[in-house]
Amino acid sequence: MRILFANPNTSEAMAGVMAAEARRIAAPDTVIDVCSAPFGSAYIATRGEAAVAGHALLSALARHYDGHDVVIVGAFIVPAVTAAAKEMCPVPLIATGEAGLAAASLLGQALSILSIGAPARRMTEETVAATGLSDRVVSIRDVGLTGTELTEDQPRGDAAAIALSLAAVQEDRADVIVLGAGSMEGMAARIQPEVPVPMVSPVGAAVCMAEMIHRLGLPKASAGGLARPSGIAMTGLDPSLTRFFRGD
Q: Write out pLDDT tens, residues 70-102.
A: 999 999 888 889 999 999 999 999 999 999 999
Question: In which band, very low, low, confident or very high, does the pLDDT at 18 lie, cut at 50, 70 and 90?
Answer: very high
Of 215, 244, 241, residue with least CA distance to 230 = 244
- Flag whether pLDDT at 210 surpasses 80: yes
The reply to whether the predicted model has a pTM over 0.85 is yes
Angle, in degrees to the nearest 10, between helices 239-246 and 47-64? 80
Q: Return the number of other C-beta atoms located less than 10 Å from residue 30's C-beta.
A: 18
Using the CB atoms, write b or e for 97-132: b if 16+ within 10 Å. Answer: bbbbbbbbbeebebbbbbbbbeebbebbbebbebbe
pLDDT number for residue 49? 93
pLDDT number for residue 99? 96
pLDDT number for residue 237? 92
Question: In which band, very low, low, confident or very high, does the pLDDT at 14 lie, cut at 50, 70 and 90?
Answer: confident
Of 21, 91, 32, residue with least CA distance to 61 = 91
DSSP state of 28: T
- Across the beta sheet with 93-95, the strand order is 31-36, 2-7, 70-73, 93-95
Tell how strand 111-115 and strand 176-179 pair up: parallel
CA distance 189 to 43: 23
DSSP state of 151: H
Of 155, 160, 193, 195, residue with least CA distance to 175 = 195
